């Protein structure tokens, strides 16, 4: 990737209610739930900073004051808050509202609860290295179902030989699941008048044009959607440390 095309901005999605994580999220927002001694959102922001992402927009809604107070202690990446206290916008609507803060160039979107144990490389760096704007509008980070922890679904996408993605058939299964991190071309939001909508709408728009691609995550992705899954992820990380001690 040429230096002028280098991606240096990200959006971290932190506005959700974390309903499935209750009762933990009755009093703290899910991005501040701790895993392995750190808030989930810090796992995401640290990973972005390590991959030389210098600026991150973070959207807030539920228990927004707590998230803003927590972020004040961070130095890198630079944090800009997108305030959604006035509305529930869903993932796509949240990104659409933040577009003036994100700028006109492609950017990373990172779910604040997307966590994994890296293999031999930085998955964020691998994602940005694989980005080819001349043929892609969306590039998703994908986890293999058989290398994931806490995920019991039927998968999301089939990864084709050329890197393009196809949706799982409605009654079938797919080997890969969306790991909650992507690169987006902001032009995909042009013409969408709805205030609240899912990012799936953006993914499907790119897929219809043959411009939805994927990269396989190197490592173990952890689906921490519930208190039980959070405990499983904690045990997995602790056991990994014991094995390497």
The 3-state secondary structure of 104-159, one letter per residue = CCCEEEEECCEEEEECCCCHHHHHHHHCCCCCCCEEEEEEEHHHEECCCCCCCEEE
Residue 114 contacts residue 179 (beta carbons within 8 Å): yes
What is the model's pLDDT at position 114?
A: 92
- Say what the pTM is: 0.92
pLDDT tens per residue across span 150-204:
888 999 999 998 999 999 988 889 999 999 999 999 999 999 989 999 999 999 9
Domain residue limits, the chain: 3-244
pLDDT tens per residue across span 72-82:
988 999 999 99
The architecture in CATH of the region 3-244 reads Alpha-Beta Complex (3.90)
């Amino acid at each position: 990737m040429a230096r002028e095309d280098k991606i240096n901005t990200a959006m971290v999605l932190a506005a959700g209610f974390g309903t499935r994580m209750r009762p933990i999220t009755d009093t703290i927002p899910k991005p501040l739930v701790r895993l392995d001694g750190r808030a989930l959102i810090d796992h995401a922001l640290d990973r972005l900073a390590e991959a030389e992402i210098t600026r991150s927009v973070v959207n807030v809604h539920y228990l927004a004051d707590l998230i803003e107070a927590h972020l004040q202690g961070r130095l890198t990446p630079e944090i800009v808050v997108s305030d959604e206290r006035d509305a529930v916008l869903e993932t796509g609507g949240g990104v659409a509202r933040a577009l003036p803060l994100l700028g006109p160039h492609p950017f990373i979107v990172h779910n604040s609860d997307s966590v994994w144990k890296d293999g031999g490389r930085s998955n964020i760096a691998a994602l940005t290295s694989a980005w080819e704007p001349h043929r892609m509008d969306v590039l998703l980070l994908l986890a293999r179902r058989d290398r994931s922890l806490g995920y019991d679904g039927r998968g999301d996408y089939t990864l084709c030989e050329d890197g393009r993605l196809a949706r799982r058939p409605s009654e079938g299964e797919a080997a890969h699941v969306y790991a909650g991190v992507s690169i987006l071309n902001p032009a995909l939001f042009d013409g969408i008048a709805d205030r609240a909508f899912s990012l799936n709408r953006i993914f499907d728009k790119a897929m219809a044009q043959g411009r939805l691609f994927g990269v396989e995550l190197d490592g173990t992705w952890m689906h921490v959607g519930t208190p039980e899954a959070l405990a499983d992820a904690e045990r997995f990380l602790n056991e990994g440390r014991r094995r390497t001690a």
